Structure 1
Amino acid sequence: MSDSNKTDTDTQSTDRRTMNYGKEKVAVYRTYANPLEGVRTIPESSFDGRDNILFGLEVRVQFEGEEFLPSFSEADNSKVVATDSMKNFVLHQAGEYEGATAEGFLHFVGKEFLDTYSHVEAVKMSATEYPFDERPVPGEDGFEPSDVVFRVSDDESAFGEIYLERNDDLIEFKEQTSGVTGIKLIKVKDNSFTGYVQDEYTTLPEREDRALYISLDIFWTYDEPENALGEEPQQYVPAEQVRDIAQVVFHEVDANSIQDLIYQIGLRVLERYPELETVSFEANNRTWIEVRDDLEGDARVFREPPRPTGYQQFSMDRSDLEEQ
């Protein structure tokens, strides 16, 4: 998740100061976690669950609380939980978690942190999931997926973030963000870019048909944060399905800009998942530069684009869908 996408809860902001600390890049792997089953299916995706034979996350932990002020102002570490201890805590809890989702794991560990350390006022947990691919091996009826051999993948990654806050004797689930990051898609034709401002600074020609290469991160929030945990699978939105929606809409729509494309993706996501409150995007334009268009038919030759590259950020809520 890029810095520009970090939520407002990245820092504890009071009238006086920002104060937090934690551990990041905690790599944790669990084999034979509980499978994710019972999710609803949608027309844009064949995804209906995951086995979770391999469940891997890169986790970030953030502690907040006024009790930590002396560690900054007086070199008094008597209330400091060492970040190495945080790392060990996360690793241990991976063996205790009985759920099936990244968000559920983060909520479970965050609650355990607050139960264990009573002076911590709030904790934010975030994670990017490590993707793994089953590898095909010979079977009785041809090749079939191995249930023990996997490939570490460079494909899209699920993202989760939760924020828990202590309120007297209660632990409140204040905020969540789910997402899928690292989507990279190329559509070789049926994309346009026309009608933009033309002035003395314009050198880019209008294009009625272009190859379009984008990278895309998509994030969403639920009306009820608890739905992000996956305990009610029919109310859970899998990252794999949102990824598939993006590629199906890209296939279907002749978009006149990346802005137009991500808006259409957002509408489809909100339409498919009534339990979502918002969906937001960060897109990057990596479109190749055409160097030959004199070949037969639709054939073209391209080169990599130079820096700088364009980007788009956009958020939507249910009012956008209602206006359609």
Structure 2
Amino acid sequence: MNLMNERALYYGKGAVFAYRTYVKPLLGVRRIPESSFSGRSNIVFGLNAKVSVGGSAFLPSFTEGDNSMVVATDSMKNFIQRHLASYEGSTIEGFIAYVAKSFLEKYPQMETVKIIGEELPFNGAKASSSVESDLVFSRSLNESSEAMIEMVRTENGAMINNHSSSIKKLQLIKVHGNSFVGFIRDEYTTLPEDSNRPLFVYLNINWKYENVTDSYGEDPYHYVAAEQIRDIATSVFHEMETPSIQNLIYLIGCRILERFPQLTEVNFESQNHTWETVVDEIPGTKSKVYTEPRPPYGFQVFSILREDVDKDKPTGTIVENSSQGS
């Protein structure tokens, strides 16, 4: 009997930080119109990993205090960090797949391994006014990429059960050209309709490949970089006049799937953090004054599938990038 099908049973280690200098560069990615991204030097390669392992062999450690089959989580930490030295690829997706498979090869009592790797990005600092340093890097606190892979042990060896690539904590403000009208109005409605509002959104975007090995970056042309997903999101937000956040994320997802046929779906977790107006009109200017919104925020979760993409269907209305204020 496979106890893993009947109960939650796993343990692991989080906040496993690992940094390596001079990982293999990512070169030769497919170029798209929305992005100038052409690759990563990987001079500084950093990640924060979380690993979870499961298997019926670990049940006695919970029920009887028998640790004879337990791999200490400190050992898991060391395993991940030391395998970064032997990794020969160029992406976080490739690294966590390499480590997950290595766990299953090393420890036969592990039936499942799930690893999440969050990028810790570093940007090249300026060596001079026109030259980017290849020695000094600044730690970025902006959006970052993340990858997840779950492998299970089968009779035929390790099999990938689930995977995703992501960009997290993307925050975008569009100062005008957004509307939200036509929604239900009843005795509970206090929100006014707005045909031209600023819109501040938080986005987590996740995507899946038809062939998960494309995510490893071994063939860079079929790899989809988080920087390219970010640039598509900002381009669509700039170009399209949309009536809601729901429609915005749908249009972004369709554009991503159009640009990258190797992907099967794009998933969104979005939040509305649009500022509240303090001063609506400043005489002689197009300016306004805003403050942070109240703590309750709206959110949306939606998946765009390959079947949603129809190249004969327009993906929004293109508007001029006018300098006129709202």
Asked if these proteins are the same fold (TM beyond 0.5), I'd say: yes
Q: 1:124-139 alignment to 2 at 5 Å? A: 124-138=114-128
Q: 1:271-282 alignment to 2 at 5 Å? A: 271-282=258-269
Contact 2:176/2:196, CA 8 A, preserved across alignment: yes
Amino acid in structure 2 at the alignment position of 1:311: F
Partner Cα separation in structure 2 for residue 182 and residue 191 of structure 1: 21
Structure 1 equivalent of residue 276 of structure 2: 289
Q: 1:14: Cα distance to partner?
A: 4.2
Alignment of 1:223 onto 2:210: yes
Amino acid in structure 1 at the alignment position of 2:215: A
Structure 2 equivalent of residue 84 of structure 1: 74
Partner Cα separation in structure 1 for residue 228 and residue 3 of structure 2: 35
Structure 2 equivalent of residue 37 of structure 1: 27
Structure 1 equivalent of residue 302 of structure 2: 314
Q: 1:154: Cα distance to partner?
A: 0.9
Contact 1:126/1:160, CA 8 A, preserved across alignment: yes
Partner Cα separation in structure 2 for residue 62 and residue 263 of structure 1: 32
Q: Deviations over 1:59-90 (max 9, x none)?
A: 01111111111111111000000000000000
- 1:146 counterpart (109, 133, 138): 133
Alignment of 1:305 onto 2:298: no
Contact 1:215/1:285, CA 8 A, preserved across alignment: yes
Structure 1 equivalent of residue 8 of structure 2: 18
Q: 1:174: Cα distance to partner?
A: 2.4
Contact 1:281/1:314, CA 8 A, preserved across alignment: yes
Q: 1:290: Cα distance to partner?
A: 1.2
Change (3 A) 1:13 1:158: farther
Amino acid in structure 1 at the alignment position of 2:196: D
Contact 2:278/2:290, CA 8 A, preserved across alignment: yes
Partner Cα separation in structure 2 for residue 15 and residue 88 of structure 1: 29
Structure 1 equivalent of residue 320 of structure 2: none
Partner Cα separation in structure 2 for residue 27 and residue 104 of structure 1: 17
Q: TM-score, normalised by structure 1?
A: 0.93
Alignment of 1:194 onto 2:181: yes
Partner Cα separation in structure 2 for residue 292 and residue 314 of structure 1: 34
Alignment of 1:28 onto 2:15: no
Alignment of 1:102 onto 2:111: no
Partner Cα separation in structure 2 for residue 66 and residue 293 of structure 1: 62
Partner Cα separation in structure 1 for residue 36 and residue 73 of structure 2: 41
Q: Give the number of the structure whose residues are more often strand, by fraction.
A: 2
Partner Cα separation in structure 1 for residue 203 and residue 161 of structure 2: 27
Q: 1:293: Cα distance to partner?
A: 2.0
Contact 1:176/1:228, CA 8 A, preserved across alignment: no
Alignment of 1:269 onto 2:265: no
Over the matched positions of the two proteins, sequence identity in percent amounts to: 47
Question: Could you say what secondary structure the match of 2:127 adopts?
Answer: strand
Contact 2:4/2:56, CA 8 A, preserved across alignment: no
Structure 2 equivalent of residue 60 of structure 1: 50
Partner Cα separation in structure 1 for residue 307 and residue 159 of structure 2: 27
Partner Cα separation in structure 2 for residue 250 and residue 16 of structure 1: 45
Bigger drift between 166-175 and 79-88 goes to 166-175
- 2:145 counterpart (151, 158, 162): 158
Q: TM-score, normalised by structure 2?
A: 0.92
Bigger drift between 118-127 and 262-271 goes to 118-127
Q: 1:15: Cα distance to partner?
A: 4.4
Contact 1:175/1:225, CA 8 A, preserved across alignment: no
Partner Cα separation in structure 2 for residue 15 and residue 54 of structure 1: 41
Q: Deviations over 1:98-135 (max 9, x none)?
A: 10000000001111111111111111111110111111
Q: Which runs of 5+ in 1 are unaligned?
A: 1-11
Partner Cα separation in structure 2 for residue 161 and residue 131 of structure 1: 17
Q: Deviations over 1:153-198 (max 9, x none)?
A: 1111111001111112411122210010010111111111111111
Question: Pairwise CA RMSD of aligned residues?
Answer: 1.4
Q: 1:239: Cα distance to partner?
A: 0.5
Question: Could you say what secondary structure the match of 2:23 adopts?
Answer: coil
